[in-house]
A = this chain, B = another copy of it.
């Protein structure tokens, strides 16, 4: 591996500027799935980038945004699948960006812009890895490579699951590299094996036909107060979710999970520093903060009701709404949770409240003893000079479930270009150039060795 590794590293160092330029071009193209902005243009760019490297590209229409699949054979019959997405989060609040979100800008060794980290920079780093590993093997690839690049990850990937189920032959592979890999605050490469599921819903309360003067507040019903009472019926300050049956299918972490959790560096001081936290959710502290990732959550994404401008406006709002997401752990099922939420609203007297399902993903988890996990762990250590950190479960969600099961229980690992303070989904999202290089080096090594396990 030494000689291949040296060739990979030399190639990537030599072509770095071109790959950063390619990332800038891709990130300059907005592709906001939440409101359908720039999707088609961005999908076209992705197709071009894959075709230009000789992959056989197919574009699949879905009820939402197109899914792009690119495949190229290699010397080994084994195929490695790379999952990425070309859509991004909305950039708001705009005023909190140091440089405009869709004008990618290099500052202090990092590239700033929406999508630089999540997930366009990562996609380009993988293309760079493919180029490098091919160059290092004299123009051949050591294994087959399949890219699946979808356009709805930021809106909960509503179409990937059925797409994979319909194309298991096309997508046949023996392992997959997931998005959002990278290094932690300690500089160690992180490998996430588990993802929580999610159920996102919108609640709409309507109490009257129109807003009323607040001089009638002793008589007329307020949608804002009803929403407040509804939310209060879901969760109190102890963070325990009050929907009956909510915890019914929750699996506790395994013995090995608990060992991996114990080996993890503490998060508390990092979270305090990055987010300026004084009191954590539910009064948790220390190791409780890591352990709690095996518990489901109920989060308010946003609240809106009545007058939000300057000064006062003496109205009783006729409408109020909240967006919620529930993060789910194995073996919770989003639609079972939705049914339990509906039943709870009925019981609590909120049957008139409109409940809209915004999206769902299922939890998924790879066994930490799988050889593929050992491979990525070993190559990670080679690139980063430190032992990989294997994270049994991360707090976020990902359509891993859509691939792992339908493709025969393949192992799925994460390896990539991120670090702990990328500001994904937030203003000033960025990627460090050194992480881009290291992420490419790591992926290229995984590709080089994947055919042999």
Contact = CB atoms under 8 A, between A and B. Distances in A.
A269 interface: no
A94 to B, nearest CB: 13
Contact of A299 (B231, B316, B327): B316
Nearest to A198: B314
Nearest to A306: B302
A308 interface: yes
B276 A208 contact: yes
Contacts of A254: none
A271 interface: yes
Contact of A302 (B224, B301, B424): B224
Interface centre among A35, A89, A218, by most B CB within 10 Å? Answer: A218
Contact of A221 (B281, B303, B315, B396): B281
A311 B280 contact: no
Nearest to A326: B217
Contacts of A299: 214, 217, 222, 314, 316
A302 B310 contact: no
A305 B302 CA distance: 5
A99 interface: no
Contacts of A279: 221
A2 to B, nearest CB: 38
A148 to B, nearest CB: 21
Contacts of A278: 352
B317 A300 contact: yes
A55 interface: no
A7 interface: no
Interface stretch (A182-190, A290-298, A399-407, A439-447): A290-298
A227 B299 CA distance: 13
Interface string A180-219: 0000000000000000101010100001111111111111
B303 A303 contact: yes
A24 B405 CA distance: 69
Contact of A275 (B35, B156, B220): B220
Interface residues of A, number: 94
25 contacts: A35-B309, A196-B215, A200-B314, A208-B275, A211-B425, A211-B426, A213-B395, A214-B297, A215-B395, A216-B271, A217-B298, A217-B325, A218-B292, A219-B284, A219-B289, A220-B271, A221-B279, A225-B231, A228-B232, A229-B232, A303-B304, A303-B308, A304-B308, A308-B321, A314-B425
A397 B215 contact: yes
Residue of A213, A298, A300, A305 ringed by the most chain B CB atoms within 10 A: A300
Interface of A: 34-35, 89-90, 92, 96, 155-156, 196, 198, 200, 202, 207-222, 224-225, 227-229, 231-232, 235-237, 239, 267, 271, 274-281, 284, 289, 292-293, 295, 297-318, 320-323, 325, 327, 352, 358-359, 394-397, 423-427
Contacts of A426: 210-213, 315
Most chain-B Cβ atoms within 10 A of its Cβ — which of A275, A315, A394? A275
Nearest to A394: B215
Contacts of A156: 312
Given A222-B281, A277-B208, A310-B34, A425 B358 contact: no
Contact of A228 (B214, B228, B304, B323): B228
B281 A219 contact: yes
Contacts of A212: 275, 426
B358 A311 contact: yes
A228 B225 contact: no
Nearest to A225: B300
B221 A297 contact: no
B217 A395 contact: yes
A214 B301 contact: yes
B277 A312 contact: no
Contacts of A232: 228-229, 232
Q: Which residue, of A239, A302, A394, has the highest number of chain B Cβ atoms within 10 A?
A: A302
A213 to B, nearest CB: 5
A277 B309 contact: no
Contact of A312 (B214, B236, B325): B325
A214 B325 contact: yes
A325 B314 contact: yes
